[in-house]
Structure 1
Amino acid sequence: MTDEAPLADRLARAITLAGPMPVSQFMAAANAHYYATRDPLGAGGDFTTAPEISQMFGELIGLWCADLWDRAGWPDVAWVELGPGRGTLAQDALRAMARAGMTPPVHFVETSPLLRAAQAGRVPGATWHDTVETLPDGVATIVVANEFFDALPIRQLIRRGTGESGGWHERLIACQDTLFLPIAGKPVPADVLPEPLRDAPAGSVLEISPAGVAAMASLARRIAAQGGAMLVVDYGHEGPALGDTLQAVRGHAFANPFEAPGDTDLSAHVDFTTLAAAAQGAGTVAWGPVTQRDLLGQLGIDGRASALARHAPDRAESILADRARLMDGMGTLFKALAVTHRDWPVPAAFGA
């Protein structure tokens, strides 16, 4: 079996040789292959993100960055985007920032060669990084992460049994006759779970994202040491919370997350409470979360939509439909969390 074999075959062989693997390992392998081998965005892909819906999203994010930079006193900054897709958000945000006098060097954290090529076409002067660890030192950093944390690997713990005979187990992926399926693995100590959830009913699932916590902590330590801010926009909840949110999307429809690994986009809801705690633990200030609806509303999406509609009356109906999709269709499921250096001002849309 070589690396040229389909991912499903390689995963099946790994499970046969070493036994069932954690959900996190399965998800990491599947998403690494998925993003390295295709452009998943748009009508011809598997899903559409907010920047691809309308230029308004990226423009408002750019103005959020420029406003914060302006009130911080115009420091030297590097602008970073995590998982920048096709570079659409960056292109729109940088245009808006430039109008406000902010023209920072751009850094992308992206591993996919296909997506890097698309990003280079929209933001030719960018610098690319495989991980957040190689971002520039010695300069304040403003980081944007739109639909980045939801794709990071998660662990799943499942409750079996009831009362004293019950317990929590790591969820693993087994393989039987080329079919992947989740099973309960070895027990895990109850003290690794939040105390209010330890006696949850049988069948309950708790998801944790060590990769997400590590990424947030690394970036927050950088911001605490060098100055700057971060804006995370993603779908999720304020935890801790129970529920199996692991999902797969293919062709703009939900699919079985355990079928065709590497050919579907795997994601899970983001626990914003845990991310905020990781940021605070690293010495920064966490703001929010607020809903995407509140974020975009406070940043002036209604005025921007009206201005675009006036300048392009033939597109007015579609512009207003895009605004509704961002505000209503995605407005409450998607949330925003801001992180700032302790000496930086309160970020727009997150004040009292």
Structure 2
Amino acid sequence: MSLTDHLVARIRASGPLSMADYMAECLLHPTLGYYTTRDPLGAAGDFTTAPEISQMFGELIGLALAQAWLDQGRPARIVLAELGPGRGTLMADALRAMARVPGLLAAAELWLVEASPTLRARQAQTLAGHAPQWADTAEALPEAPLFLVANEFFDALPVRQFRRAADGWCELRVGLEDGRLALGLAGAAPQPALAHRLEDTREGDIVELCPAAAPVMAAIAGRIARHGGAALIVDYGDWRSLGDTVQALKAHQPVPILDTPGEADLTAHVDFEVLAQAATATGAKHTRLAPQGLFLDRLGIAQRAEALAVRGGPAVATAYRRLTHTEEMGNLFKVLGLYPPGAPPPAGLEP
């Protein structure tokens, strides 16, 4: 049975799916889901992330977290964690940079939050020698000072979509038309979670809600508020979500989201306002939202690129541009930092 067959059977049995349920099935079905059946990264995959573009990205992330550890008095035992670590490339680069800080790696327990068995196996290879441990969820991370990075994690969390109507909100759902998957609308109804969006939307506008985002953020921020630490959330999106941002990528090209369930990556833009509010509710502090290019420039990526270019040649300049230029990833991707009350914000970010 294909995932399409499974989805059609489920809809026939139980009715149309929310976009969040459709995304969850496509990405994480135990035997047919996108992330459970493949390594999606790189030229042979469907997309490329910043750590795969250049070692500079992970190195600077590692140094920013190392500075936070120093700023908070070098705690003797910390949890160093990544959400959705891909192949482990970012963490490997971060660890190499952090090894230059005396005592840091000796204090760190390495934890990876990963749902994909395929990617866990790849991470084990990449990070051999660092004794990684895995958790299924952020909530399962140990209670300890937490120094964490989440790069392109929140964009893969399923979202519900609502279109504003004259008398409420209509949810966009995945149903059937002539036996094939098709998008449709539920009837208008009040949505208390969207009451605050009446002031900045008009009839016909689409707003997305990510049910899983706030609980994940609360788990991270709560540990930082209670025990100390820092988190760097890097993703594409903006302060407040507006519009239909769900997209499917296959072989590095956009494809219709209903065409190849389980065979294409599905993502949506991140609503950073929701993440910041969830962090604040736990007592943690959050930084201003910064474009990725500005964040990396503040950390010294230009100087690092210059040093690497001595042996890396033009490829280093190409990677630098792709990571930082406003017409590439530099402005589309944003960075939000978390830190405990009384501590300075993570390097490269402003309170």
- Band of TM-score, shorter chain: over 0.9
Matches within 5 A, 1:8-157: 8-32=4-28, 33-75=33-75, 76-101=77-102, 102-103=104-105, 104-124=108-128, 125-137=131-143, 139-157=144-162
Cα 1:198/1:183, change in 2 over 3 Å: farther
Query: d(CA) in 2 for partners of 1:93 and 1:202?
Result: 46
Q: Secondary structure at the match of 1:332?
A: helix
Residue number in structure 1 paired with 2:180: 179
Query: d(CA) in 2 for partners of 1:41 and 1:68?
Result: 30
Report if aligned partners of 1:81, 1:90 keep a CA contact under 8 Å in 2.
Answer: yes
Using the size of structure 1 for normalisation, the TM-score is 0.93
- Contiguous gaps of at least 5 residues in structure 2: none
Q: In the alignment, residue 331 of structure 2 is paired with which amino acid?
A: T
Matches within 5 A, 1:255-274: 255-274=255-274
Q: Deviation per CA, 1:160-217, whole angstroms, max 9, x where unpaired?
A: 3x4xxx4311221102234222211133315431435368433211001110111101
Q: Secondary structure at the match of 1:210?
A: coil
Q: Secondary structure at the match of 2:118?
A: helix
Q: Secondary structure at the match of 2:185?
A: strand
Q: In the alignment, residue 319 of structure 1 is paired with which amino acid?
A: V
Q: In the alignment, residue 73 of structure 1 is paired with which amino acid?
A: G
Query: d(CA) in 1 for partners of 2:179 and 2:331?
Result: 39
- Contiguous gaps of at least 5 residues in structure 1: none
Q: In the alignment, residue 126 of structure 1 is paired with which amino acid?
A: P
Residue number in structure 2 paired with 1:249: 249
Q: Secondary structure at the match of 1:288?
A: coil
Using the size of structure 2 for normalisation, the TM-score is 0.93
Report if aligned partners of 1:236, 1:334 keep a CA contact under 8 Å in 2.
Answer: yes
Q: CA RMSD in A?
A: 1.4
Query: d(CA) in 2 for partners of 1:284 and 1:297?
Result: 26
Residue number in structure 1 paired with 2:309: 309
Report if aligned partners of 1:23, 1:155 keep a CA contact under 8 Å in 2.
Answer: yes
Cα 1:38/1:18, change in 2 over 3 Å: same
Q: Secondary structure at the match of 2:34?
A: helix
Report if aligned partners of 1:286, 1:339 keep a CA contact under 8 Å in 2.
Answer: yes
Identical-residue share of aligned pairs (%): 45
Query: d(CA) in 2 for partners of 1:199 and 1:105?
Result: 44
Residue number in structure 1 paired with 2:319: 322
Query: d(CA) in 1 for partners of 2:293 and 2:157?
Result: 24
